[in-house]
Amino acid sequence: MKQGSRRAGIIGGVRIPFCRNNTAYAEVGNFAMAVKTLGALVERFGLHGQELGEVAFGAVIKHASDWNLAREALLSSGLAPTTPGITTARACGTSLDNTILIANKIASGQIEVGVAGGSDTTSDVPIVYSRALQQRLLAMNRARGAMEKFKAAVRGFSLRELKPSFPGVAEPRTGKSMGEHCEMMARQWQVSREAQDQLALESHHKLAAAYERGFFKDLVVPFRGVERDNVLRPDTTLEKLATLKPAFDKTSGQGTLTAGNSTALSDGAAAVLIASDEWAAARGLKVQAYLTHAQVAAVDFVHGEGLLMAPTIAVPRMLAQAGLKLQDFDFYEIHEAFAAQVVCTLRAWESADYCRDRLGLDAPLGAIDHAKFNINGSSLAVGHPFAATGARIIATLAKMLEERGSGRGLVSICTAGGMGVTAILERP
């Protein structure tokens, strides 16, 4: 993506409908969702039997047996078995990271074409047993003879060892969940419950309208009898949202984050095809948009910075590299982990104090045009399978730019661990 390097073009993307956890995909794991999504991409772009330069496909919540999910899924997708695959994870930014990875390989001339994507499930989670039981089983495996194995099995045994533990959503460094951290951000930036509910309402209504006008017809492929995201609530109202109780701060009486203005735990997968101009032209495929700039950043959330504020750092760095202002975009795709997090981000860019003291800028980045923001809805209405969101956004934005005929779009995704991944798509 450096100046003078080859362009990395987004050819297009597909995804399965995103579903609330423990619903339609309750018995479907990452592998099946990944195979369906990659297979749909192969079908859409006629990639049967073709060897690609790389498939970068990630997952955040996965079993040990999925250690190379990308490689195993592509072997069942219709691609040539000589296609390499790499499995990655950077929480919510995973498949945007993978898009950047593939684009950089194309720009450097290492490959001509690749696939970026991700799959995640919070229904089929790895269940882990106690450290004591793990050590006991290992001791039994090492023991020789039936009597020694029996002794290893019963020596000091307690029923407490059989209690399973499930993957947590708390930050290991703080012990607080992402929602608890976001409550702290909402108080710092004085984000009201009403502002959060309003943003959530708009996300549902915009997504519903996009489905009604057929925008997702070639982006979403039916799976397991589901044709559209089942998190979507087209009939929701501010009155309904106002009845929901706080989901994270349940005791202070000041909690503002609810199940309605926070992203639902979700299952799903998404993928995008990225290629050089030459590769696409040789196959009669059109480029929707080009990935031209990207940036990642991290914040010191352990010592007081907002956990989900890293995009506020990454975006101005990326703008400086690109020689652009925040207002130089036709579309803004800002991942809606929580409505409060989006509002905090936008207020930070408008704050003279924050832009001066934290970003080192002479003036605020300023406001964005709300009419250009998440115009087809986003994670609050779509759902958020962690590793799939980036590819969903890239495919959506690339199609929006193609429909417009030209333009520029900004992508911003916050992640667990206090990081942010951002990118710019352009269509000349």
Q: Which residues are catalytic?
A: 92, 384, 414
Helix extents (H) in 143-292:
145-154, 178-188, 193-212, 238-242, 277-282
Q: Which of 350, 363, 340, 360 has the alpha carbon at shortest distance from 414?
A: 340
Among 295, 276, 302, which residue's Cα sits nearest to residue 287?
276
Q: Which two tokens stand for residue 181?
A: 């951290």
Cα distances (angstroms) measured from residue 100 to each of 90, 110, 274? 12, 14, 10
**SS3 label, residue 409:** strand
SS3 288: coil
In angstroms, the CA 26 to CA 174 distance is: 30
CA angle 374, 229, 285 (to 5 degrees): 70
User: 290 phi and psi, to 5 degrees?
Assistant: -115, 140
Report which residue type is found at 93: G
Asked if residue 54 lies in contact with residue 84, where contact means CB atoms within 8 angstroms, the answer is yes
Q: Calculate the alpha carbon distances from 128 to 20, 164, 168, 175, 206 in Å.
A: 23, 6, 11, 19, 40
How many other C-beta atoms lie within 10 A of the C-beta of residue 136? 19
